[in-house]
Amino acid sequence: MLKNFSLAAVAALVVVACAQSPTGRNQIMLFDDKQLSTMGAQTFETMKAETPISKDARINDYVQCIASALLRVTPQEYLTNPWEVVVFDSEQVNAFALPGGKIGVYTGLLKVAENQEQLAAVVGHEIAHVMAGHSNERLSTNQFLQSALALGDAGTKAYGVKYQQEIMAMLGVGAQLGITLPFSRTHESEADIVGLDLMAKAGFEPRQAVNLWQNMAAASSNNTPQFLSSHPIPENRIAELRARMPEAMATFNERKKSGRLPACRK
């Protein structure tokens, strides 16, 4: 009886918390956006305290110029609070965006992103993660999986199932490979799509996104098979971008007609 009630409660929670991403994909969102924004801001403050911040005015202006151009075409609903952009002095080839309007760019990325368009592809990708609520969705998915595995553990124990511990370990691995990692790959692919649209609307030549990810692949020594990876392999990522390119180029060409294209310089 308790088991049936718990399953019903979890199912009801999932139904109530359904949402849609910017691409129209159904999502489960169990957490409050304000709470996640607070968590994002706290995490960002910790990072600023622990990681050196670049004092190079030229680099800061360059990154801010690109981020500002992208944010000007970001839907208004994601601009409730001013976004904060920080350049971290680190060799990491990375960037990130957090709920609450926080963007971090590592100086190491500037060695791989060769021009404003390529850096815009990365920053647009990270803004897209926030727009799509991927942090909320990932936390919600993990919460749901933990609840489901706890119920399975209780059920196998209650019925005296043989090899209970081994079965639960296999279920845990199955959840990781079958749900958590594919969800993460879905998030990355979705952020690529939404980010490509953002950069095109902002006036950054979208074909440079393909060049960026080619540079990323060349700089990476990661040969993890896709089914064991949280990110799509570069070949698949590039193929998806190319498939979306005609639409992105049409958007870019419309923007180009206005004659107002970004001119961010290092």
Interatomic CA distance for residues 1 and 246, integer angstroms: 55
Q: How far is CA 144 from each of CA 23, 31, 131, 138, 222, rounded to the nearest angstrom?
A: 23, 12, 22, 10, 30
Q: Which value, in Å, is the radius of gyration of the alpha carbons in the chain?
A: 21
Nearest to 109, CA basis, from 68, 55, 62, 49:
62
Interatomic CA distance for residues 127 and 171, integer angstroms: 34
Interatomic CA distance for residues 188 and 183, integer angstroms: 9
User: Do 193 and 23 form a contact (C-beta atoms < 8 A)?
Assistant: yes
Residues 6+ apart with CB under 8 A from 119: 62, 63, 66, 105, 109, 110, 113
Active-site residue 235, yes or no? no
Interatomic CA distance for residues 122 and 212, integer angstroms: 8
Q: Within 13 Å and on the Cβ side, how many CA atoms surround 129?
A: 22
Q: How many CB atoms lie within 10 A of CB 134?
A: 22
Map 58-97 to HEC letters: HHHHHHHHHHHHHHCCCCHHHCCCCCEEEEECCCCCCEEE
Q: Pick the catalytic residue from 45, 117, 126, 137.
A: 126
Catalytic residues: 126
